[in-house]
A and B are shown apart, each in its own frame.
Chain A
């Protein structure tokens, strides 16, 4: 009798527990997406991290946006735009009938209010950690308070009627329009920002800290989803914007979107397996097989928008010699590394930007793996073999473009050893030590590093690396600098394409490093997740996603 009761109780408990596991997405059109961390704030103008941008992508809209799964742009809140002959004046014709979530109208005055807000940022807002992207694109503020800031690109904004905003820049700038697709430049309600103190912040113990409520509780955009709640460490909850202006094209297919932070890769995968989440970002390479073997799940590709490369420091002997740099390029077995350590999720890179971006050139100088050629070049440089080079790699990290740095290093090290080099291995923990050494130009002759693109412009790759003197690479090359300056100041895309192609040819001739992989980061998703198109930058539009069987 007693045994029967115990057995019965256990069965009931098991049944209740099983019933209690509510599958994410099964009720009322809810999509649960897991990233690696909480957003920093919900005011996109003062953040620079992908987790914050992902939430912003659903709440806010910019004047332009990236085409789904691509790096080129298309209109969003701006119906169209044009530039003046001198390339300094940009006229945006705006969509009509658009309202912010607080019911106030989106119009030309709101556009100017947003541009002027960024331009007039002062005090704590001029901190690089607060307005990184504004500073990267617009260089400086109305009154610069930090020595590293430059002359501002932005000049002024005026309205011409309610639906036309005219933005004046201080000089021609090509990346400007592409960068407007960044969530950092999304349109926010001027009324809500004033009401909830969006421009209030202070610096505490050296850290930027918004003191108003806007960035935590009242983010107000025009997007298909509205903010509902944010429980730090648990979830951000967004709900469908029923008053959305363009339901036909961008309307939300779900009633509710929950974005939750799960920092541990295994925990994120297990939550996907248990149906607690529908989509798991940043699937670890070793987990791709597990997802593929699960009949309910599938691996989704984030389009490649990154580059992994071996930096060659041109300021240090012997890598200050072009023959040695060429010998290194011929001594790196890139094909084998990409084949062995990227699980079929990468292609060999031949230049410092992904092929999907305009300005990529097919005819750059190529350096196939050839140990004999390497040795020949080293002898030609007057060096006796083996030639010592210090080679750095990071520990304790996987990056989307470099899932297994140590193994990449070991393989490259072996191929260099066969090519007349004696490798002196050095390593450091990724952050902040390794990145600091690389940025300072103190991470050996060569080191492993990479870059994930922020927006669809070659300037975000080539301009970041080579437009100004960069201690990481340690060289000055007037030809490359001039080409990149010209390309930055050009607004006609066809001309920019040619300038960047030329710059790519020059860069690969000079060899400040050897690009070796463009990877496709993996995302785990349930098979019933439909219309999910991963963004190149990670800021996926999640509102069009629907879940089969709901």
Chain B
């Protein structure tokens, strides 16, 4: 097991190296550059030329890449062209926001998707089964951006139940030692801040979790249907075990395996979906930050931010793979 983990961790090196090359050259394929974006509308051609020369932006691209790799290896992602802050400092601020949102979305998707999928399978062919399939189809089809605006319109603007922007009420003065607001509220025992943070999370988490919810529900349904027809389930029933015990011990546990894979794969989807969700809800996370960076040709943010997310994505999938061993004892890694 340990050897497997070490091997997977070593594989990170070529993966991240490949990602760094892709990002580095991709951002430079975009028209325009940081000089124009940095100097804004008032940039004269002379200023742009002087800037490019002064900061080596007209050096051969391979030299720029070598400099970038040297700095990155030392943990220096550079300084954002737009905000003039260190990329690593911004990641520290924004990554917790995105993770909190992604966890909220995943919890929403799992806590609703798994029971719905399971019940749909148990009531195969019923009205509930058809309805859940229909709703999950809508969940997959509806654009996150649109859903987010509708949710805000109904629950914030019309009903006034939930806030429409941000991670917390700005009138609230709270401590944020880790920048995970819900966690911070718990460790500082600030229950009003906890309630406030949860209320701010509800709508963005529903918007972002709508597609994973649909996927999780469908996979759970399919997986449960498969497991139900397995020999060991039939044996358990034949032994006279009560249906509830058969379902919880034999069907549900085995049906969970593909779901954990799906949850791992959803991380990428959540991170990409966060771009739109964060923009609509003014959620100060990585997604809206990277979106702005594309418009600003903010090379350091794009390079550092995407490399960091790639690292997170690979690590999450490694954790999911390892978790198989705990969910299913038949799997052994070597």
Which A residues fall within an 8 A CB radius of B?
Answer: 14, 17-18, 20-22, 24, 27, 30, 32, 38, 40-41, 48-49, 127-129, 132, 146-148, 203-210, 229, 231-235, 237, 258, 260-264, 266-268, 270-271, 273-274, 276, 428-429, 431-433, 435-436, 439-440, 471
Contacts and interface: CB of A to CB of B under 8 A. Distances in A.
Given A17-B161, A21-B160, A147-B50, A207 B33 contact: no
Given A237-B173, A266-B280, 19 more contacts: A18-B161, A27-B171, A38-B83, A209-B84, A232-B85, A233-B93, A260-B282, A263-B288, A267-B164, A267-B280, A270-B152, A270-B153, A270-B157, A270-B164, A273-B157, A431-B295, A432-B43, A436-B32, A436-B36
A205 B78 contact: yes
A436 B48 contact: yes
A437 to B, nearest CB: 10
Contacts of B56: 206
Given A258-B171, A270-B164, A205 B279 contact: no
Given A128-B47, A274-B156, A276-B163, A433 B31 contact: yes
**Interface of chain A, main secondary structure:** mixed
Given A17-B199, A204-B78, A263 B279 contact: yes
Interface of B: 31-48, 50-51, 54-57, 71, 78-81, 83-86, 90, 93-94, 97, 149, 152-153, 156-157, 159-171, 173, 176, 195-196, 199, 279-282, 284, 288-289, 292, 295-297, 299-300
Contacts of B81: 206-207
In the complex, which of the residues A48, A205, A439 has the most CB atoms of chain B within 10 Å of its own CB atom? Answer: A205
A232 B93 contact: yes
A262 B93 contact: no
Contacts of B71: 205
Contacts of B31: 428-429, 432-433
A129 B39 contact: yes
Nearest to A204: B79
Contacts, number: 178
A236 to B, nearest CB: 10
Nearest to A273: B157
A20 B196 contact: yes
Contacts of B160: 18, 21, 274
In the complex, which of the residues A22, A268, A439 has the most CB atoms of chain B within 10 Å of its own CB atom? Answer: A439
A547 to B, nearest CB: 13
24 contacts: A17-B199, A18-B159, A20-B199, A40-B83, A146-B50, A204-B79, A204-B86, A205-B71, A206-B81, A207-B38, A207-B78, A209-B84, A209-B85, A232-B284, A233-B94, A233-B284, A234-B284, A260-B166, A268-B165, A270-B164, A271-B282, A274-B157, A429-B31, A432-B43
Contacts of B33: 432
A431 B78 contact: no
Given A40-B83, A204-B78, A206-B51, A234 B171 contact: no
Contact of A22 (B166, B171, B292): B171
A432 B42 contact: no
Contacts of B48: 436
Contacts of A266: 149, 280
A13 to B, nearest CB: 9
Contact of B165 (A208, A258, A270): A270
Lowest 4 A-B CB distances belong to which pairs? A233-B284, A206-B55, A432-B36, A432-B32
Given A233-B284, A234-B168, A271-B165, A263 B84 contact: no
In the complex, which of the residues A32, A229, A436 has the most CB atoms of chain B within 10 Å of its own CB atom? Answer: A436
A210 B284 CA distance: 22
B284 A439 contact: no
Given A233-B93, A432-B33, A207 B80 contact: yes
B62 to A, nearest CB: 16
Given A17-B161, A32-B171, A234 B166 contact: yes
A48 B171 CA distance: 28
B280 A234 contact: no
Contacts of B43: 128, 432, 435-436, 439
B79 A209 contact: yes
Given A235-B170, A258-B171, A263 B282 contact: yes
Contacts of B279: 263-264, 267
